[in-house]
Amino acid sequence: MSWLHFFILLPLLFAIIIPILYKKIPKIHTGWFVVIVPLSIFVYLLTFVPMIAGGETAMYTLPWIPGFNIDVSFYVDGLGLVFGLIISGIGTLVVLYSIYYLSKWREALHNFYVYLMLFMTAMLGVVFSNNLIVLYLFWELTSISSFLLIAYWYARRQSRYGAQKAMLITIFGGFAMLAAIIMLGIMGDTFSIRELFAQGDQLVQHELFIPAMILLLIGAFTKSAQFPFHIWLPDAMEAPTPISAYLHSATMVKAGIYVVARFTPFFGGTMEWFWLVTGVGLLTLLWGSLLAVKQRDLKALLAFSTVSQLGFIMSLLGMGSAALYYGEGELAHLHAMAVLAAVFHLVNHATFKGSLFMVVGIVDHETGTRDTRKLGGLLSIMPISFTLALIGSLSMAGLPPFNGFLSKELFFTGTLNASSLDIFRMETYGFLIPVIAWVASVFTFIYSIILVFKTFFGKYQPERLEKEAHEAPWGMLVPPAILALLVVMIFFLPNVLSDYILEPMVASILPALAGQFDFHIEAWHGFEPELFMTIGIVVVGTILYLTLRKWMGLYNNLPRALTITNAYNSGLRGMESISRKITDAHMTGFSRDYLRYIFVIFVLIVGTHLFMMDAFSFETANVANINLFEIILSLVLIGATAMVVITRSRLAAVICVGVLGYVVALFFVVLRAPDLALTQLAIETVTVALFLVCFYHLPRLRKKEDGDGFNIPNFIIASAVGILVTLVALSANGHRIFPPISDFYLDAYELAGAANMVNAILADFRALDTLLEIFVLCIAGLGVYTLVKVRLARGEKNENQ
């Protein structure tokens, strides 16, 4: 347990007291308490910066399940640290913003902040985990907490739809990633990322290398909303705006990028990785920017813009992975610039997109709509919001003097370098990369302009807005203003950021090149092709924006039936109807049918196995002597069982079941297992009491009306189960391959200080079993409670009607 462990789990621990704070101190907005958590994490993580900038890393390990190579080890390097800073930094601003965005009177704040804190721990866990299994655990936790946050306003149908869509798609990807993780575990015989990377060179030839790569990428692509999995992100915009700003632009959607970056040292340098990551990234970049232009809802526009920008970063990571092919030298350095551009844009995107989301939230909050057709002319009413929107949008469009310009120039450099590659068959298709990048950037420019102009210029139409527009309170303006300030500051001082933050990050993505390079980011780099590309974007983009009306109609020609969302919807409907049919076929509502299915399957599986493996054996050598007393007990047992079946009286049946229980307890006594006997007796007593309680209300036992009372299939099934269990029991005794482990427990007194071996096993050696057993008991109790109470509640309602 280290401080890092504590701070990663801090949001989770804090989540426990949020509902109490919400109930006990309703006068103060709960957000004011919550904001301390991300802030303290941010400050704590800042203390790592000097160490990381010095090229060092740190690892904190906590053993968890050492037997399976699973431990909670957190690893701090450039990549993880920057993500951690973004998560906690933007997290602080988002919580601050949400204090003004969510009303403390109307909203279920305790739910909101509990989910948010859950998410924060999950996200921090993902970026710092060194163990793949732990990483997967946190990875799925991000999906679940995101589901809860998207469905925060769960009364709305669209919110539920969006939440379900996001969860189905990202968890599907998560399963793919789990398969990849298991494959990696098989390949390297470890789940530690560090140890796996150390064996990277030998594992390239492994037959599971490519399948693991593809499955891992599916996981990363679904999370980062890459084409064709991007369809969940626009629907996720049903979440409250602080959530959209936080999860769906700055943090969670970047988890996929994190994974791609994290695994670049392992998979990078191969042709498959290069093409998959670059290709999907470019496709997403282009598709997202094309669709963003057509959106009328500002948040949907930003959602598609995020999709596009994620593709941007993804493609750069793909192109930069070529550096690992060269390993060192001038060419490697050239392509490493692409990775620098990727991480640089990652930081830039978090700043400008975070602020843009918050500004759109302000517009929504103050006017009641996000529809570009209704908005307009807000410039004079909301000047501060306008300034923030302008800064964010121009940065997104890639214009100076904002940080987006720098990373976009680097992006063009990266594409031009990639197109001149002579490996990976780039000589044939390489020219496409800069072309796609340029076209996508033109559309990026257009939607950035749309965002500002349609909202803040034009005619103010108060009659179409839901409420009179006015400037937001300062508390809502401060968080985006801080981000906008960063946007400008990074433009003027990019190399401070680069030296302290970005270079360690590149070093952890391209470890082979660590220490070999020294990047210098410049705003002015002469009359290079990149600059002309930017000028071309502004010129063509402006012309296209002015003629927007003329060609917007082209979007209507896209066939609606062929969209991916449509495919998702019909797929969902199809799955639902198929599973309904399957369920209807076997869920008849009669427990005798269920028992029949269970027993038939049991007999088929176990019986076939016993037969196929030729596993039956009957060994009398190690059987103890049977004395008269045991024979009598067995006869009583058989007699009581027979009585249960034959009797027509429920009381007699209950008594016979009780007899069975007590006879089994006597067996335990005879076989010298007093603990078991004691437990069995007590349980039997409580069970009889339970019977007494509900006996009065049970219906009378009735003979089955149909048939002659003798059902041949049932007879066969029952006999088969009985015979099979006997055979298995005999075989279990006949096969003694390994020496019994009971000798270990004989040392219970030395190991656990308990003379009672059974109890030492229960409380010390196998305490987890006991713990889970009481969980089961608790769930059973609550299950009975809800079954009874829910039915009661419904009955009362009927009475009222």
Positions that interact with other proteins (CB under 8 A) = 1, 62-64, 66, 674-675, 678-679, 682-683, 685-686, 689-690, 692-694, 697, 752-756, 758-760, 762-764, 767-768, 770-771, 774-775, 777-778, 780-782, 784-785, 788-789, 791-792
Q: How far apart are CA 36 and CA 432, in angstroms?
A: 48
Dihedral pair phi/psi, residue 638, rounded to 5°: -65, -40
Q: Report which of 547, 530, 540, 500 is spatially closest to residue 400, judged by C-alpha positions.
A: 530
DSSP 8-state class, residue 205:
T
DSSP string, 359-402: HHHHHHHHHS--BTTT----TTT-HHHHHHHHHHHHHHHT-TTS
Between 592 and 789, CB nearer to other proteins: 789
CB atoms within 10 A of CB 724: 16
The single residue listed with the structure tokens 């009481």 is 774
The answer to whether 535 touches 436, Cβ cutoff 8 Å, is: no
CA distance between the termini of the chain: 58
Between 58 and 208, CB nearer to other proteins: 58
CA distances from 717 to 307, 542, 612, 706 (A): 57, 78, 20, 19
Shortest spacing between CB 796 and other proteins, in angstroms: 12
Shortest spacing between CB 630 and other proteins, in angstroms: 21
Which two three-digit tokens encode residue 625?
Answer: 């002597």
Q: Report which of 359, 108, 126, 69 is spatially closest to residue 257, judged by C-alpha positions.
A: 126
Between 717 and 752, CB nearer to other proteins: 752
Between 577 and 759, CB nearer to other proteins: 759
Shortest spacing between CB 3 and other proteins, in angstroms: 13
Shortest spacing between CB 6 and other proteins, in angstroms: 10
Which two three-digit tokens encode residue 342?
Answer: 């990727």
Shortest spacing between CB 71 and other proteins, in angstroms: 10
Report helix, strand or coil for 5.
helix
Shortest spacing between CB 16 and other proteins, in angstroms: 11
Report helix, strand or coil for 61.
strand
Shortest spacing between CB 779 and other proteins, in angstroms: 9
Shortest spacing between CB 46 and other proteins, in angstroms: 26
Q: Report which of 319, 299, 317 is spatially closest to residue 257, judged by C-alpha positions.
A: 317
Shortest spacing between CB 194 and other proteins, in angstroms: 21
CB atoms within 10 A of CB 195: 13
Between 606 and 688, CB nearer to other proteins: 688
Residue 624, classified by CB atoms within 10 Å of its CB into exposed (0-12), middle (13-18) or buried (19+), is exposed
Between 580 and 791, CB nearer to other proteins: 791
Q: How far apart are CA 613 and CA 383, in angstroms?
A: 80
Q: Is the preceding omega at residue 462 within 30 degrees of 0, hence cis?
A: no
Between 154 and 749, CB nearer to other proteins: 749
Between 599 and 765, CB nearer to other proteins: 765
Shortest spacing between CB 141 and other proteins, in angstroms: 18
Between 699 and 753, CB nearer to other proteins: 753
Shortest spacing between CB 775 and other proteins, in angstroms: 6
CB atoms within 10 A of CB 612: 8
Rg over alpha carbons for the chain, rounded to the nearest Å, is 33
Sign of the C-alpha dihedral computed for residues 748, 749, 753 and 757 taken in this order: positive
Between 157 and 672, CB nearer to other proteins: 672
The answer to whether 395 touches 487, Cβ cutoff 8 Å, is: yes
Shortest spacing between CB 764 and other proteins, in angstroms: 5
Between 204 and 792, CB nearer to other proteins: 792
Residues ≥6 apart with Cβ < 8 Å to 577: none
Shortest spacing between CB 798 and other proteins, in angstroms: 15
Between 567 and 780, CB nearer to other proteins: 780
The single residue listed with the structure tokens 């560090």 is 194
Beta-sheet strands, E only, within 452-553: none
Sign of the C-alpha dihedral computed for residues 400, 405, 409 and 415 taken in this order: negative
Between 679 and 711, CB nearer to other proteins: 679
Q: Report which of 376, 350, 628 is spatially closest to residue 490, judged by C-alpha positions.
A: 350
